[in-house]
């Protein structure tokens, strides 16, 4: 799309170019922002990310801007409305999980972003090529396990790793990509577990 060298997937469509260049791998904080990314990564499971990316504004409208305190109050009528909304992915299990996850956020004893960021690795080596990018890591397995323990659904280790990539907990821009930082990320986050 331009003369810039990007991760291979980041140059395939204008939507991906914008997402790759401005969002993917950028540190993200805030409860609604993290709940949105968590929810969208869950909806992406089994689908191409471009499908979700192109429906993101529809998802935001359907799920009240991903404000978890609002989504937690969704009832049967809201569920039926979502199932009838052609602008989003109408998957019964994923919609049910998103509402359940909003309720799980409400029960947390720590802010959602703090909980999620506690799983960011202290160091993460930059992948040389796209083949070097993992699908699952020990940290994403630990995140998935803790989220399940806290009542979250549809957030397995692969989805958790995609969330970590999308929100800057890890920087998986390949070495040749113009977005790659010069040094491996050092996070030094404290793990949040237990109650």
9 annotated active-site: no
- Which of these is catalytic: 9, 31, 49, 73? 49
177 annotated as a binding-site residue: yes
Does 20 belong to an annotated binding site? yes
Q: Is residue 124 part of an annotated ligand binding site?
A: no
According to DSSP, the residues that pair with 123 across neighbouring strands are 186
Choosing from 16, 24, 36, 41, the catalytic residue is 41
In order of 62, 82, 98, 194, the CA distances from 79 in angstroms are: 10, 5, 10, 31
User: Residue 175's CB: how many other CB atoms inside 10 A?
Assistant: 11
String of b and e for 87-122 (b: at least 16 CB within 10 Å)?
Answer: ebbebeebbebbbbbbbbbeebeeebbebbbbbbbe
Answer yes or no: 49 catalytic: yes
Q: Which residue positions form the known binding site for Zn(2+)?
A: 7, 20, 173, 177
Annotated catalytic sites, by residue?
19, 41, 49
């Amino acid at each position: 799309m331009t003369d810039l060298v990007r991760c291979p997937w980041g140059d395939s469509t204008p939507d991906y170019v914008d997402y790759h260049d401005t969002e993917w791998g950028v540190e993200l904080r805030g409860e609604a922002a993290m709940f949105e990314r968590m929810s969208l990564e869950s909806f992406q499971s089994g689908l191409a990310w471009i499908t979700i990316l192109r429906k993101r504004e529809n998802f935001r409208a359907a799920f009240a801007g991903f404000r978890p305190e609002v989504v937690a109050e969704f009832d049967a009528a809201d569920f039926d409305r979502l199932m009838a909304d052609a602008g989003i992915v109408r998957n019964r299990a994923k919609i049910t999980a998103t509402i359940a996850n909003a309720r799980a956020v409400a029960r947390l004893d720590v802010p959602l972003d703090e909980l999620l960021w506690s799983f960011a690795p202290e160091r993460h080596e930059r992948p040389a090529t796209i083949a070097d990018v993992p699908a699952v890591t020990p940290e994403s397995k630990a995140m998935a396990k803790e989220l399940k323990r806290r009542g979250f659904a549809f957030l397995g280790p692969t989805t958790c790793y995609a969330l970590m990539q999308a929100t800057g907990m890890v920087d998986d821009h390949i070495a040749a990509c113009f977005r790659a930082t010069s040094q491996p990320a050092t996070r030094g986050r404290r793990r949040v577990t237990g109650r």
